[in-house]
């Protein structure tokens, strides 16, 4: 990733629903707590609140529906080529899946190797896929949480960047637990973006190592280029709609 603009990383955000994680990113970029700028938002569904959140901040937003390119999953390569075209046209360096409800494929990940991250409402590798909060309750765990990870071709199986946990209460429902986990997502997703923008993320096999912050007077750490992130993993998508 290019640091010529003072470590301000260009983001593209893919959404499908409410856009609360998108809002956390937009707010963090605006107040300077995230050293990044959202250049474009793309939704695979028209009329979702996430689009309104982008419009309210003056961020270009597009709707690209898979059905415009044929029947799923046969249309996936053509659909993803369109996504890549838009993201590249807006100079995107890091792609964030924020409640995007499609699994990304090879076409997308080849265009953005080790530059796609996602957030999932569980402490991965536990409870990947849909309805993770209900999965956690049904299993009887005492601690739940959320994870941010580099996307690959597995379902929520890429290298984990950050995680956050919360207790599971005896009277929790899927809805109450989901809300508590969502608050964690709003914290750890901006944290992961910040770590990547600061060049403090290094992937070694399945492990993501977080490098120390630069000391005063040392200047900023250069954001990682392909050599520092690539060669170990690629990209997924969880169906979360947050």
Catalytic residues: 120
Q: Report the alpha-carbon distance of residue 107 to residue 104 in Å, rounded.
A: 8
What is the DSSP track for 93-119?
SEEEESS--S---HHHHHHSTT-EEEE
Q: Report the alpha-carbon distance of residue 182 to residue 129 in Å, rounded.
A: 16
**Inter-residue contact 145 to 181 (CB < 8 Å):** yes
Beta-strand runs (E) in 110-220: 116-120, 143-150, 160-167, 201-204, 207-210
**Inter-residue contact 148 to 228 (CB < 8 Å):** no
CA nearest to 149, candidates 224, 107, 97, 99 = 97
């Amino acid at each position: 990733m290019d640091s010529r603009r003072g470590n301000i990383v260009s983001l593209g955000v893919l959404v499908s629903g409410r856009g609360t994680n998108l809002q956390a990113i937009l707010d963090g970029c605006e107040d300077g707590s995230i050293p990044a700028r959202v250049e474009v938002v793309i939704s695979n569904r028209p009329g979702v609140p996430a689009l309104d959140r982008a419009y309210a901040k003056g961020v270009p937003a597009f709707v690209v529906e898979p059905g415009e390119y044929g029947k799923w999953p046969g249309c996936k390569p053509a659909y993803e080529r369109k996504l890549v075209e838009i993201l590249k046209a807006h100079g995107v360096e890091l792609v964030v899946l924020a409640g995007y409800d499609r699994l990304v494929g090879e076409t997308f990940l080849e265009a953005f190797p080790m530059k796609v991250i996602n957030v999932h409402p569980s402490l991965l590798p536990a409870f990947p896929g849909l309805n993770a909060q209900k999965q956690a309750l049904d299993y009887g765990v005492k601690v739940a949480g959320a994870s941010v990870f580099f996307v690959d071709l597995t379902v929520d199986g890429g290298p984990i960047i950050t995680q956050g946990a919360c207790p599971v209460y005896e009277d929790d429902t899927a809805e109450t637990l989901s809300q508590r986990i969502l608050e964690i997502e709003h914290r750890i997703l901006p944290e992961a973006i910040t770590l990547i923008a600061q060049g403090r993320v290094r992937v070694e096999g399945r492990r993501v190592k977080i490098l120390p912050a630069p000391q005063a007077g040392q200047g900023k750490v250069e954001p990682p280029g392909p050599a520092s992130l690539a060669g170990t993993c690629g990209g997924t998508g969880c169906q979360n709609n947050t």
